[in-house]
Amino acid sequence: MAINLGSFVTVNGKSISTGSQSGLDTQALIKELVSVREDQIKTITDKQTKVKSQVTEFGTYSNLLNKLKTSLNLLRNPPGFGQASNNVFQYRTTQLSTSNGTTASNYLNVTATPGAKLAKYTVSIDNVAEARQLRSNTSYSSVSSDLTTGGGITPGTFTITSSLYGIHDEVLSSGDYSAQGAASGIVSSLGNFNVVSNGDTGLQGTIAGFNATVNGNNVDLSVVVNGKTYTASVAANNGVGNDSITAGGITFTNTATGTSFRVTTGSDYVIAGNQTNADAFAAALTSGVSGISVYQSREVGNFSKANAAGSTVSKLESKNISFVSNGFDNATLRQGSIGKFTATAVSAAGANDGKLEVTINGETFRATGLGNDGSDTETSNITLSSLSTGKKLNINLADAGITLDFSTPTKAATISSDLNKTFGTFSEDVTISAGSTLASVVSAINAKSTTTGVSANTLQVGPNDYRLSLTADNTGFEGGFDLVNAATVFGVSPFSTVKTEEDSQITLDGVAIHRGSNTISDALDNVTFSLLQETGNGVTIASEIKEDKSAVQSTILDFAAAYNEIKIFLAKQSERDADGKFLDTAVLGGNTLVRTTAQSFDTELNKLVGGLGTNAINRLSEIGAAFSDLEADEASKTPATHNVLQFDQTKLASVVDSSFDKVRALFEFTLTTSQSDKLGISKTSNSLGANNFTLDIDKNRAAGDQVRVKYNDGTNDVVVNATLTGTAGNYKIIGNSGTVLEGMEFVYVGTGVDSIDVNATQGIGDRLYNLTDGLVADKGLISTEVTNLDDSANNLQDNINRENTRLDDYRNRLYLQFSNFEAQLSKINSTLAFLDAQTAAQNNYGR
């Protein structure tokens, strides 16, 4: 006899038996009953899957639109300031050629960043920058052996310092003018002629003669140097007796170049308003400098405006600094080593005894009595005078508008630090100990290179012949360095100069320009000159900054390619089967947003650009564009696509080359105003409805009427309002909804009362950009659509969860019902079995 136990399932944590009495396949029955409801849930799940697929496809669509947006942004002339790098029509390329037909790139590279001025320049490379390099005269036999015991090196300390180069150095650097100068009171020993640099270095010519003219209460002075006229005007009554010129000096300036030089007379000279006396004074000056050559120095190599940024001397300019010396070396421009600046605070509040000190070539220069301009500060020009010679270092605080605070040691330390950083001054001791090798000497020097900018190396010039080489890390005078007490360590005449530090020099359209490196990026805005070698022999290089037309062509083609990717994507979303139903791959098929935006793109591409005037290029077809159909390609799974954008590249190149500005206007948003210094565009809109209008601005009118937009609609003169926000100098004008300026925003920096005529045109690039941006912006149409789809997917998930719960409950109820059914059957079977047993017993009893 077989015992049918049925099957066991767990319902609400309890195991129950099914099918044990009935012999029915309860599991199969319940599964069949449940499947009907599972099909209903699957329908919801399939709908959710489709919604999620739509979200994914919108993500793909957004990526394609952003790619299109990127190319359009380069073509549309983005609103705002400093956008040249985002405007391909402002990209630049350069063309170089030499006057003798040699390869220009052997001498010079020129790069121009977006926005550089279109121009032609003539350049000659007069000098390339060099780094200072010294080499030991002593030959060392080994790199690794002890050189301090008879090896040529003596233990001790030497110092590496920065070098001072001329700022306003000796002008009269040749000839003897001591005798001639007596008549005019010129004190030759102090080198009283010096030049305010305009960046030129070297011989400026000779002084031809002074002239003086009494002009009312002034004396007008002039002198010709190398064909250039320098002028000065001195008040006739200047506080030292009537009609006198003081020993303080006179500055002669060439107004065309800004170059000037100063004459210090040594004593007051009284002219007394008399032309005869004026002539005599001019004659004395002329006699004093007859035949003397005038040299003009460079800006100080140590001074760096960039290093001064953010410091107490941030306003300091090279013109505010002068060094007076009669020991200027025209060959090297060196004044010798310069040590660190040291500022000393006042001893007590109001003591006026602050000090500033620096050492130059072993001489101490000091300024005392500082801090006497109130609150222990100094605002007057400071002169640091040598304690041993007549040399002077002038730092003109008043001219620069600088205040230095000497009130506390901490404030004084800040002055020292800021000046040292600005002048690039340093003084680093290097100690060579007993037992040092050449390698350890190199290491000791290089350990200080971060501060000194000097690197050491060993150089093998022959067998057992090693030399110590010291090289400035930077080219130009800025990299100059000096060695102090080097002879005590390395012996008499320890080093020879292999290379003298030199600045680069180019002549750009006749103007000499000096820099510390061979990369000159600050002579012309957005243009960098990279010097490779000197041109020499009168060779010049013609450099032309031109539009980068190839970049424009490439960007237009990129725009077309990005647009076509969108067209192909949209074609996939509209594919149907033979019955006219969307294919499974057409996830966005029938989506209203996709359909309407596709139509909008087609409309924009076929529009004419208005307001460009006669003979303008106002449609894409004029630059080689055409629309064609793309056949389906099974291999690449590309569907048949209508109206893809293609360009005749030959025609495109030709039109860009011949009509660059017209092509630019076809794509860009352009704004021309009668007051361009006051009005700019900050946001464009495809709702622009007038190309010519006047903004009548009056902040004093009632709110809502402060800006009136006046234009002609082709029939009538129309006036509408725009909104004015902000304050004077920082206003914004916003176009009102429903007007011809709807969505437009202007930056207005005027006073609030103006009338500004405006011409605005909106090219294809800007219109398509705005259309695309409206789709992919953070709160754009696609974002809204995706948010709605996400909400729908979440709601569907809630439905799925709810239906699954109901399904579980339904399944459990079925199991319980069938279990109860089996239990009842069991009882019935038990009763029947009992009855059968009774009946059988009775039957057996009756036999």
Q: Max alpha carbon distance in the chain (Å)?
A: 180
Q: Which of 2-11, 109-118, 483-492, 625-634 has the lowest mean pLDDT?
A: 2-11
Mean pLDDT of 726-732: 92
Of 5-19, 57-71, 515-529, 659-673, give the lowest mean pLDDT range: 5-19
CB atoms within 10 A of CB 813: 12
What's the confidence (pLDDT) of residue 24?
Answer: 67
**The pLDDT of residue 149:** 87
Q: What DSSP designation does 633 have?
A: B
**Beta strands, E only, 536-637:** 541-547, 625-630
* Rounded-to-integer distance, Cα 546 and Cα 577, Å: 54
pLDDT at position 822: 73
Percent share of the chain, pLDDT over 90 = 55
- Residue 661: pLDDT above 90? yes
The pLDDT of residue 1 is 33
Model confidence at 300, pLDDT cuts 50, 70, 90, reads low
Look at residue 235 in the predicted model and tell me its pLDDT.
65
Q: Which residues of 181-215 are buried (b: 16+ CB within 10 A; e: fewer)?
A: beebbbbbebbbbbbbbbbbbeebebbeebbbebe
pTM of the model: 0.73
Q: Report, as an integer, the average pLDDT of 281-302.
A: 57
Strand-pair partners of 511: 508
| Greater pLDDT, 13 or 494 | 494
pLDDT score, position 167: 42
pLDDT of residue 171: 38
The pLDDT value recorded for residue 182 is 34
Could you report the per-residue pLDDT of 16-63, keeping only the tens digit for each? Answer: 555 555 566 777 887 888 888 888 889 999 899 999 999 999 999 999
Instruction: Look at residue 195 and tell me whether its pLDDT is greater than 50.
Output: no
Q: Are 133 and 500 spatial neighbours (Cβ–Cβ below 8 Å)?
A: no
- How much is the pLDDT for 653? 98
- Average confidence (pLDDT) over 258-266: 59
Q: Which contacts (CB < 8 Å, 24+ apart) does range 686-689 have?
A: 686/743, 686/762, 686/767, 686/770, 686/771, 687/735, 687/740, 687/741, 687/742, 687/743, 687/744, 688/740, 688/741, 688/744, 688/760, 688/762, 689/739, 689/740, 689/741, 689/742
Per-residue pLDDT, 126: 94
* Cα gap 470→158, rounded to integer Å: 14
Q: With bands split at pLDDT 50, 70 and 90, how would you rate the model's confidence at 262?
A: low
Between CA 160 and CA 134 the distance in angstroms is 12
How much is the pLDDT for 808?
87
Per-residue pLDDT for 296 more than 50? no
| Residue 788 CB partners (closer than 8 Å, separation 6+) | none
**Quick one: pLDDT at residue 97?**
97
Spatial CA neighbour of 75 closest among 780, 775, 762, 774: 762
Mean pLDDT, the chain, rounded, equals 84
Strand blocks (E) in 89-239: 92-98, 108-112, 119-127, 133-136, 156-165, 194-196, 202-215, 218-225, 228-235
In this prediction, residue 67 carries a pLDDT of 97
Kindly indicate the confidence band of residue 12, based on its pLDDT and cuts at 50, 70 and 90. low
**pLDDT given for residue 197 in this prediction:** 36
Comparing 248-257, 470-479, 485-494, 745-754, the range with the smallest average pLDDT is 248-257
Written as six digits, the tokens of 678 are: 């006051």
Q: Provide the CA 419 distance to its chain's centre, in angstroms.
A: 27
Terminal Cα distance for the chain, rounded: 28
Whether residue 283 contacts residue 277, with contact meaning beta carbons closer than 8 Å, is answered with no
- Cα(289)–Cα(329) distance, integer angstroms: 20
374 Cβ contact list (under 8 Å, min separation 6): none
Whole-angstrom distance, CA of residue 402 vs CA of residue 396: 9
Region 103-132 average pLDDT: 96
Q: Mean pLDDT, to the nearest integer, of 820-837?
A: 79
Average pLDDT over residues 799-815: 87
Q: Which residue has the higher pLDDT, 156 or 219?
A: 156
pLDDT at 324: 65
HSE (side-chain half, CA atoms, 13 Å) at 80:
9
C-alpha to C-alpha distance for 84 and 387, rounded to whole angstroms? 55
